[in-house]
Structure 1
């Protein structure tokens, strides 16, 4: 770890703030697919390991930096209506302090992830890092607390438990996507294949289409498929991930003023279970 690495992480977090957290994550998916293609062709894993999940587009750096900068821009600078807005490119405001916040959180993301890796934590360390930095950004810049307000503006209490329709929908989504991704991961032995596809597909969410967020399902399915070698076990974990993310969203991202990422939360929780079992 040297000054160049630290400055690289600063640049990654700053870039995530400038283009927006979600656009940065979308490019994680696209660059990841390029890296997978190179790897599958017998090439170097550098693009996949050091670009996709490194200082430029690593979610724990670029996405986390963009999330923190959005919270700062909304709650301290009043540029955004709400800090949960992770679609807007913060470059539009021309405020260097917003970009600097993103850069500083990029450094924190790099340092935290390296710490967790050195501790040999048996879980997805970028996911844990994104979760922790989301919590930190809310505590530093928000006012709604880690779990958000108990009631919305109309006085209605937030609901954490899933009703039957929502539960069944998440089971069906997790099963269908989990099965096909598990099959492909076992076939290719590339555990991030589904994750990168799901991340890239979020470009349609950026465009305003109501597509589902699925990278937590894909990533958990990938981890379980490689760990167990069993498509049914991997699919079961994919279903679990779909349900956990729905609940995490209700717990952390309802009636709040910043973004704590439900997919990242789900990935680190489910990966910890998978690594503990297998």
Structure 2
């Protein structure tokens, strides 16, 4: 996600500015741990929705006195929504790492009714437990640094999404989880052990560790959203809506904010709420790309649908590879966005695509 503050390398800012960002990121990561990764991301959605709404309003009524065009919205969307307060690379990453830590350190805290390893519970609010908040703080700061470094060297993808993925894998290594995990089915992509409700077993047939008792051998990211047909259809639908929102408002991020905010219902325990922010964001990018070469709005919407479906399928493939077999959360939407936008960035740099969407290339 484009944040003007994140386009500058660390070496191009003063020590005072870096210290300010570092302290804020520490607090933001701890905030994500306190609320839980998913609730903190819901706040991302609300803040982005607010910032993009203000930008649209500002365009309609003209620049406000003493406020340069776009600056007010950039301050809300970029500095807060995608910055040190609720930025996914800070707050969500801190919450994910805190869950991974708590899964090993405090298994007794696991709430009733949670079926997966506790390290995957990104809905759990860790409150004020100092050591858990400290883990969130460290990973929030790490997420900020990774994002700034990768943005600074011009790595051609969404480096916030990339940082979310990187910190999640680092948490697995730091807290003693396997990077991928034991595969129970015929391949990494095989979800049939989940469908058969097969329990987790030791590779040598020995006793299953206490932390895995009662666990399923394969744990899909979303039990209601993993079948290829359903994933494809929801990607097509949300891609169209994202493209339409961009056509009507000019905002790439508004549909992302709506998708993220909709996860409030998932966090509240309403079943079968789809997770779609990777579909809407990449779908909107598809519309931006198509509009540079095609003047027909219906065709633009069809391209947005295609991009939404591609991102949906990327999320599903990556969850099967990197989420389902280990004991912590590695975010499939972040993986999908990072991969999709890397493709967009590279194809733009080699002059295949007319623009790079929202990437600052």
TM > 0.5 between the two? yes
Structure 2: how far apart are the matches of 1:102 and 1:14? 5
Aligned residues of 2:280 and 2:308 also touching (Cα < 8 A): yes
Structure 1: how far apart are the matches of 2:264 and 2:176? 27
Which residue number corresponds to residue 315 of structure 2?
Answer: 245
Q: Are 1:10 and 2:10 counterparts?
A: no
Structure 2: how far apart are the matches of 1:134 and 1:157? 21
Aligned residues of 1:175 and 1:239 also touching (Cα < 8 A): yes
Deviation at residue 159 of structure 1 after TM alignment:
9.8
Q: Are 1:96 and 2:130 counterparts?
A: yes
Cα distance change, pair 48–154 in 1 and its aligned pair in 2 (3 A): closer
Structure 1: how far apart are the matches of 2:18 and 2:342? 30
Of 229-238 and 1-10, the range deviating more from structure 2 = 229-238
Structure 1: how far apart are the matches of 2:343 and 2:287? 13
Q: Are 1:51 and 2:80 counterparts?
A: yes
How many residues align structurally? 271
Aligned residues of 2:146 and 2:163 also touching (Cα < 8 A): yes
Structure 1: how far apart are the matches of 2:219 and 2:120? 19
Which residue number corresponds to residue 146 of structure 1?
Answer: 179
SS at match of 2:235: helix
Deviation at residue 157 of structure 1 after TM alignment:
6.7
SS at match of 1:2: helix
Within the candidate set 231, 242, 267, 2:301 is matched to 231
Deviation at residue 62 of structure 1 after TM alignment:
0.3
Aligned residues of 2:242 and 2:304 also touching (Cα < 8 A): no
Deviation at residue 176 of structure 1 after TM alignment:
1.3
Which residue number corresponds to residue 105 of structure 2?
Answer: 76
Structure 2 residues not aligned, in runs of 5+: 1-16, 59-69, 111-116, 185-197, 202-215, 221-225, 292-299, 348-352, 354-361
Within the candidate set 135, 138, 145, 2:169 is matched to 135
Determine which structure has the larger helix proportion and give its number.
1
TM-score normalised per structure 1 = 0.92
Which residue number corresponds to residue 65 of structure 1?
Answer: 94
Of 113-122 and 167-176, the range deviating more from structure 2 = 167-176
Which residue number corresponds to residue 141 of structure 2?
Answer: 107
SS at match of 1:249: helix
Of 16-25 and 36-45, the range deviating more from structure 2 = 36-45
Which residue number corresponds to residue 44 of structure 2?
Answer: 28
Deviation at residue 250 of structure 1 after TM alignment:
1.4
Structure 1: how far apart are the matches of 2:305 and 2:48? 23
CA RMSD, Structure 1 to Structure 2 (Å): 1.9
Bigger Rg over Cα? 2
Of 180-189 and 27-36, the range deviating more from structure 2 = 180-189
Structure 2: how far apart are the matches of 1:51 and 1:154? 41
Q: Are 1:255 and 2:325 counterparts?
A: yes
